[in-house]
Amino acid sequence: MRALIIIDQPPYGSWEGREALDMALSLAAFDQPVALLFCGAGVNWLRKGQDAGKVQQKSIERNLAAAPIFGVEALLADAGACDQYGLAEADLLDDVCITDFGTELTGGFDHVAFAG
Amino acid sequence: MSSSLPEQTQTPAPAGVFTLVITGAPYSSQAPQTALGFARAALAANKRIDRIFLYGDGVHLASALSVPPSDELNLSEAWAAFLAENSIAGVACIASALRRGLVNDSEMQRYGLPGSNLRAPFEIAGLGEWVDSAASGSRVIYFHKGG
């Protein structure tokens, strides 16, 4: 079973993205192959240099940086959404792979789930 | 040319086993009611449901304290009755539940809370329950809040 968890919600506005990240980490903890895909406003998760202190939240940057260490196989960003939000590769966290979100991508996974 | 759809006889899941994940809260989303309709239809078509997993805002469905007006459907009660009648496990994710104030007796004692509010037969457990369903080849259907 290969799973793809898709985050299409921006960070900090709701807990749906964080809870989707927990799903991915949980799959990895049980040795299930899993990748994370960020699309739509969700690509803002991948910005470098986030400071969430002013909204009294923890930055998700460290959680994402740790995801590959905990066994998440890939952090994928939809190319179209990156363009829409003005994100070039240099603006993104390390280890992020820019890709095209479509049936060719999702077809490679047995289990695909959206955040919220 | 017939406009009727062919009768469904097979699902991609082995033996037609479904897991339903509900992430939308009752009364602020349609998710729990749509999921209940799906679950009833699945059993009527001789499919099996291995578990219901409540995640995110969906955990509110397991509250014993929701009291809608008497002329409205009590979704928590309806779901609890459906699970009990059909011996289907209903599991609320522990992290989602604690964050949102849904606790059973043991969590009440652990955190020194003034009460517990988990409706039977729902249980509280970890995401491992969902992983178990996903990894077992069960067909997992997600009911989100939408919009």
Structure tokens at B60: 């509110």
Place of tokens 């992983």: B131
Per CATH, the architecture of B14-66+85-143 is what? 3-Layer(aba) Sandwich (3.40)
Please indicate whether, in this complex, the C-beta atoms of B135 and A16 are within 8 angstroms of each other.
no
How far is it, in rounded angstroms, from Cα B20 to Cα B54?
8
Cβ distance B56 to A16 less than 8 Å, yes or no, reads: yes
Residue of chain A whose alpha carbon sits nearest to that of B144: A116
For chain A, give the secondary structure using H, E and C.
CCEEEEECCCCCCCCHHHHHHHHHHHHHHCCCCEEEEECHHHHHHHECCCCCHHHCCCCCHHHHHHCCCCCCCEEEEEHHHHHHCCCCHHHECCCEEEECCCHHHHCCCCEEEECC
Stated pTM of the model: 0.92
**For A66-83, what is each residue's pLDDT tens digit?**
899 999 999 999 999 999
Domain extent, residue A7, equals 3-114
Report ipTM (2 d.p.): 0.92
CB contact under 8 A, B135 and A32: yes
- Domain coordinates in residue numbering, chain B: 14-66+85-143
Best residue in A5, A9, A23 to probe B by mutation, most B CBs within 10 Å? Answer: A23
Q: Which of A82, A70, A10 is nearest to A35 (CA)?
A: A70
CB contact under 8 A, B134 and A3: yes
> Which among B39, B93, B118, B140 is annotated as catalytic?
B93
CATH code where residue A8 lies: 3.40.1260.10
Nearest residue on chain A to B22, judged by CA atoms?
A116
A113 touching chain B per CB within 8 A: yes
pLDDT digit string (tens) for chain B, length 147 residues? 444 545 555 555 556 899 999 999 999 999 999 999 999 999 999 999 999 999 999 999 999 999 999 999 999 999 999 999 999 999 999 999 999 999 999 999 999 999 999 999 999 999 999 999 999 989 999 999 986
Q: Is B81 helix (H, G, I), strand (E, B) or coil?
A: helix
* Active site annotation includes B93: yes
Chain A to chain B Cβ contacts (< 8 Å)? 41
Domain total of chain A: 1
Question: Cα dihedral angle (B42, B43, B49, B53), rounded to 10 degrees?
Answer: 70
